[in-house]
């Protein structure tokens, strides 16, 4: 009897290429990619500002704001620089700060002092309170009714730092813990204050912060891209054979060669198979 032919090998059905695990990995990678690109963009903007937007004396300045009031003073909102972290002093984070005022009228006065003492001096004085000083320029938030001050600002002992004179005035100050208020007035204490205001700071830590954000964004981007690539890569199904080798170069078939004759133990040729011989 002849043996039954072996059944042809059939590969198993392919596995589901997009199972729950791959879908979750792809979504996770895309979700990580969004903040990663945001960090890269933010770090780039910070580095650009740090390297190209500083003044000659090293300050980063806010947009200018041309403001005026019929009252006797322009004041900032209360500036709260209180912190409980003694290892991160405000002066180290901000560096030297600066207030610049350009005026075309009477001599200008710029002063900064503790908010409670400034409130005592200007509590009954007509003045304007500025909003968003240092973000989008200077904008008047509200007008406070009142009368004239008790005396010119330069005669008051409350100021931590002050400057006055004609034209552009620039006040620099080393920040310290506490509540502070910036005041711009006419040096003689008269009504009708008008000035183009800008504020700025050295921000010595900005370079390190910018590079830290950039490096963090780059690392997170690499992780997100790796997860996405692993998710979209086609896995090999279990039992799948590797790709077949390429066929040999075509050519003429080899010539037929007869089989070699068989001989017995004594060397005589055998003329038939063993099944044809009689025992």
Instruction: Say if residue 88's pLDDT is above 70.
Output: no
- Residue 171: pLDDT above 80? yes
Cα 87 from chain centroid (whole Å): 25
Query: Does residue 26 carry a pLDDT above 50?
Result: yes
Residue 115 confidence class, pLDDT cut points 50, 70, 90? very high
Task: Return the pLDDT at 11.
Answer: 59
Does residue 16 surpass a pLDDT of 60?
A: no
- Asked whether residue 278 carries a pLDDT value surpassing 60, the answer given is no
Calpha distance 45→38 (Å, rounded): 11
DSSP letters, 91-106, are HHHH-SEEEEEE-SSS
Nearest to 103 by CA among 154, 69, 60, 142: 69
Residue 4 scores a pLDDT above 50: yes
Q: How far apart are CA 60 and CA 54, in angstroms?
A: 5
pLDDT in tens, 239-250: 555 556 555 555
Tell me what pLDDT residue 36 has: 92
With beta carbons less than 8 A apart as the criterion, state whether 75 and 122 touch: yes
pLDDT at 155: 93
Q: Which of 86, 113, 80, 75 is nearest to 197 (CA)?
A: 75
DSSP three-state, residue 168? coil
* Confidence at residue 87, expressed as pLDDT on a 0 to 100 scale: 45
Q: Tell me, what's the pLDDT at 235?
A: 62
Q: What is the pLDDT of residues 178-231, one digit of tens each?
A: 889 999 999 999 999 999 888 888 888 888 889 999 999 999 999 999 998 888
What is the C-alpha to C-alpha distance for residues 243 and 221, in angstroms, rounded to an integer?
A: 34
The stretch 9-28 carries a mean pLDDT of 72
Tell me the whole-structure pTM to 2 decimals: 0.63
Helix axes 20-52, 206-232, angle to 10 degrees: 160
The percentage of the chain sitting over the pLDDT mark of 70, rounded to a whole number, equals 75
Comparing 50 with 149, which gets the higher pLDDT?
149
- What is the average pLDDT across 9-14? 59
- pLDDT, residue 262, reads 74
Residue 147 DSSP symbol? B
Residue 159: predicted pLDDT? 95
Least confident segment among 63-67, 75-79, 170-174: 63-67
Give the pLDDT confidence score for residue 279 in this predicted structure: 46
Cα separation, 168 vs 166, in Å, equals: 7
Contact status, residue 195 vs residue 108, Cβ threshold 8 Å: yes
In this prediction, residue 175 has a pLDDT band, given cuts at 50, 70 and 90, of confident
- The gap between the terminal CA atoms of the chain, to the nearest Å, is 23
Q: Which of 134-138, 205-209, 233-237 has the largest mean confidence?
A: 205-209
CA angle 79, 83, 85 (to 5 degrees): 155
What is the mean pLDDT of the segment spanning 20-49? 89
Which secondary structure element, helix H or strand E, spans residue 89, and what is its range? Answer: none
């Amino acid at each position: 009897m002849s043996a039954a032919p072996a059944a042809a090998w059939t590969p198993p059905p392919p596995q589901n290429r997009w199972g729950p695990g791959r879908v979750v990995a792809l979504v996770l990678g895309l979700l990580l990619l969004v903040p990663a690109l945001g960090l890269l963009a933010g770090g780039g903007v910070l580095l650009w500002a740090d390297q190209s937007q500083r003044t000659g004396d090293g300050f980063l300045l806010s947009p200018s704001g041309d403001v005026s009031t019929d009252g006797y003073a322009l004041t900032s909102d209360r500036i709260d620089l209180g912190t409980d972290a003694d290892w991160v002093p405000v002066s180290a984070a901000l560096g030297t700060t600066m207030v610049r005022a350009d005026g075309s009228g009477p001599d200008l006065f710029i002063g900064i002092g503790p908010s409670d003492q400034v409130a005592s001096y200007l509590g009954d004085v007509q003045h304007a309170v500025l909003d968003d000083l240092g973000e989008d320029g200077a904008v008047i938030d509200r007008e406070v009714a009142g009368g004239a001050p008790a005396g010119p600002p330069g005669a008051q002992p409350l100021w931590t730092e002050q400057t006055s004179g004609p034209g552009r005035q620039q006040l620099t100050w080393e920040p310290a813990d506490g509540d502070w208020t910036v005041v711009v007035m006419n040096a003689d204490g008269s009504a009708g204050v008008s000035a183009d205001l800008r504020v700025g700071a050295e921000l010595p830590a900005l370079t390190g912060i910018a590079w830290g954000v950039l490096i963090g964004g780059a690392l997170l981007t690499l992780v997100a891209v790796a997860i996405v690539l692993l998710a979209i890569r086609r896995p090999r199904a279990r039992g799948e054979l590797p790709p077949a080798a390429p066929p040999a170069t075509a050519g003429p078939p080899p010539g037929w060669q007869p089989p070699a004759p068989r001989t017995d133990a004594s060397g005589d040729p055998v003329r038939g198979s063993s099944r044809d011989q009689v025992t």
